[in-house]
Chain A
Amino acid sequence: MNSTATKEEYILKLYITGMSISSVRAIENIKSICEEHLQGRYTLDIIDIHKFPDTMYENNIIASPTLIKHSPQPFKKLLGDLSDRSKVLGALGIITQ
């Protein structure tokens, strides 16, 4: 894997709804990606929007699951269970295709 030179801190938020299938899958996928590529330089918050509906407004969450990349720039929003691994890596800017 061509890891990019960026050593920036990743701030990620994953919004899920309870223990739905896609939510569980999304958690598994993002965790494995983070462990593999961003070891030691990421924070991942997992938020259940059922429990904290107020949190949705600041990032305009409409779908579940949604992964938000706050940092580094640019701001990104990923919808879905993150099963397309290369697309996720591209979107997060971890690898450049």
Chain B
Amino acid sequence: MKKTNDRLKAKPAPLSKTPTGIEGLDEITDGGLPTGRPTLVCGSAGCGKTLMAVQFLIKGITDYNEPGIFMTFEESAEDLTKNVASLGYDLKKLIADKKLRVDHVKVERSEIEESGEYNLEGLFIRLEHAINSIGAKRVVLDTIESLFGGLDNTVILRSEIRRLFHWLKNKGVTTIITGERGESSLTRQGLEEYVSDCVILLDFRVIDQISTRRLRIVKYRGSTHGTNEYPFLIDESGISVLPITSLRLEHKVSDKIVSTGIPGLDKLFKKGGYYQGSSILISGTAGTAKTTLASYFTQETCKNKGRVLYFAFEESPNQLIRNMKSVGIDLRTYIDKGLLQIHSSRPTLHGLEMHLLSLHKLIRDFKPQCVVIDPISNMISIGTISEVRAMLVRLIDLLKINNITALFTSLTQQNVSSTNELTEESVSSLVDTWITVRDVEGIGERNRGLYILKSRGMAHSNQVREFILTDKGLKFLDFETGPDGILLGSARKKYQLDTFADNLKKKQALQKRDREILRKKKILEANILAMRTEYESVEEELHKLETEERGLQLKTKKTLDSQPVKAVKKKKN
């Protein structure tokens, strides 16, 4: 049964691949190592060849249920067990479970004599025996070149190694062969001549006193693969290769708005905060409360039960906690609740890629809703602008894919002459929201002003807002414009006082006028009264005259009435 299995495996489908289970490597190789074929992993001493091989085996067992054989020519099984135990791998258990076999092939030159012809059939039989005993699908030979140190007859060795690789291929096991880097060739003994399917080169370089491990696929027959040099990291969980820059921008976006943590700042955004999953840059000169703004956002996210990963490149966690306490932010409680992790390190601790990689790992393990990097401008000390930019692109990609809000702070140089804001890393095009905090220096004082340079996807205020830091927290002051523009600090106070005095004066003037009007009215009314009285007396006079007139007329009539008889009499006369 096993035999037929083996034979079936001996003819793998074209481009069939075996995932290594190593973070990132499977992406670069487009699926893993060629199934049923040998892969050469070469590199100089201490670059992680053995570790990569061990990880390949262990991941094969734990993740893909493929038992493996580790044939070591250098370390003993005990040493190997101890070495990888520090990475959290329990080889003993895997061996006991019959998932792994470690075979130490010791070649002691001092006790070996060669006489006449021989072959390495012993090695073949050992391998076959081991493979059959646990049904292994993965094999590691670490480092087969050690045989050259123990045996003299290189002619036999070479032909036997060639035969071994061929045999492994027929056997259909996926093999990693490690080899020490030679001076002019990839391996000292030119093993790359025999392994034609896949060659991975590991490298360990020190540039400007900062060391970086790199990995490159030298060749991979019959498959596409990444051709760049990829930095990789060895840490407590083994090897991981850097996340690759995604070539397309097609991550999903969120419409959710998250508060900035400062009500005054929220008001400046039409929608009341940042978009979840966007990237925010807070740039400013030294001491403009960039970290405080970042901490406010941290606090706000934690309040809403979101997890925050805070990378501090300038302050230690304790220092940050103490300093933020002075403005009323208690980060400690969130750390205790497990919602906040603060990681502090100097940027120069390791290279840019290492930083990115450790970020990547932490992000994967902690699954935060928000990542704060304070500040990114420090990165410039360990790389060129273009390198830093490239790293940030990768980081932002990573965060966007996972819908994590990213908040970066950046220190800008105080440059009075230039008005256009340019952060050193020119990351402006990468971020969605850009807030600038700046010093406004004036008559013997320094004030903090904040404005939003851009905010993709929402309207925002264009005002410069002044804020002050009190022991109760950060306070946004109301917008105040004077005749010469926006007023800050004591100018604002003066202006406020002036305005108050002005208002008082105006009020008084108004009151005075009102009183005057009232007075005038009163005078007029008095005049009207007087005139009315005068009119009345005149009227009365007239009335009197009229009455007198009428009385006179009546008298006259009476006299006339008594007279006509006389008159008639007179007439008759």
Contact = CB atoms under 8 A, between A and B. Distances in A.
Interface of A: 15, 17, 20, 22, 25-26, 49-50, 53-54, 56-57, 60-66, 74-84, 87-88, 91
B562 interface: no
Given A56-B129, A64-B121, 6 more contacts: A15-B122, A49-B125, A78-B114, A79-B113, A81-B116, A84-B116
B126 A56 contact: yes
B120 interface: yes
B107 interface: yes
Given A50-B125, A57-B103, A62-B105, A22 B111 contact: no
A53 B122 CA distance: 9
Contacts of B129: 53-54, 56
Contacts of A22: 116-119
Nearest to A61: B122
Contacts of B111: 74-77
A81 B118 CA distance: 6
B113 A77 contact: yes
A91 B147 CA distance: 20
26 contacts: A17-B119, A26-B116, A50-B125, A53-B126, A53-B128, A61-B126, A62-B120, A62-B147, A63-B119, A63-B123, A64-B118, A66-B118, A75-B111, A76-B111, A77-B112, A78-B113, A78-B114, A79-B112, A79-B113, A80-B116, A81-B116, A82-B116, A83-B115, A83-B117, A87-B113, A88-B113
Contacts of B108: 77
Contacts of A66: 118, 122
* Main secondary structure on A side of the interface with B: loop
B320 interface: no
Contacts of B126: 53, 56-57, 61-62
A57 B127 CA distance: 11
Most buried by A among B104, B111, B120: B111
A20 B118 CA distance: 10
Contacts of B107: 60, 62
Contacts of B116: 22, 25-26, 80-84
Interface residues of B, number: 25
A81 B121 contact: no
Contacts of B103: 57
Contacts of B147: 62
Contacts of A87: 113, 115
Contact of B118 (A50, A80, A88): A80
A79 B125 contact: no
A51 to B, nearest CB: 10
B106 interface: yes
Nearest to B129: A53
Contact of B151 (A61, A65, A76, A79): A79
* Main secondary structure on B side of the interface with A: mixed
Contacts of A25: 116
A91 B125 contact: no
Contacts of A84: 115-116
A40 to B, nearest CB: 24
B115 A79 contact: yes
Contact of A64 (B105, B106, B113, B122): B122
Contacts of B121: 17, 20, 49, 63-64
A1 B470 CA distance: 104
Contacts of B122: 15, 17, 49, 56, 61-64, 66
Most buried by A among B103, B111, B121, B126: B121
B142 to A, nearest CB: 15
A49 B126 CA distance: 9
B105 A63 contact: no
The 4 closest A-B pairs by CB, nearest first: A80-B116, A81-B116, A83-B116, A53-B129
A74 B111 CA distance: 8
A81 B117 contact: yes
Contacts of A79: 112-115, 118, 151
B147 to A, nearest CB: 8
Interface string B351-379: 00000000000000000000000000000
Contacts of B117: 22, 80-81, 83
Interface string B119-140: 1111101101100000000000
Given A50-B125, A53-B126, A56-B126, A81 B115 contact: yes
A17 B118 contact: no
Nearest to B119: A64
Contacts of B123: 62-63
A88 B105 contact: no
B115 A78 contact: yes
B76 to A, nearest CB: 11
A60 B105 contact: yes
B353 to A, nearest CB: 40
Nearest to B152: A79
Contacts of A83: 115-117
A10 B11 CA distance: 49
A57 B128 CA distance: 13
Interface in B156-206: none
Nearest to A66: B122
Contacts of B125: 17, 49-50, 53, 56
B73 to A, nearest CB: 9
A14 to B, nearest CB: 12
A20 B121 CA distance: 11
Most buried by B among A15, A80, A83: A80
A83 B113 CA distance: 12
A15 B114 CA distance: 14
Contacts of A49: 121-122, 125
Contacts of B115: 78-84, 87-88, 91
Contacts of A26: 116
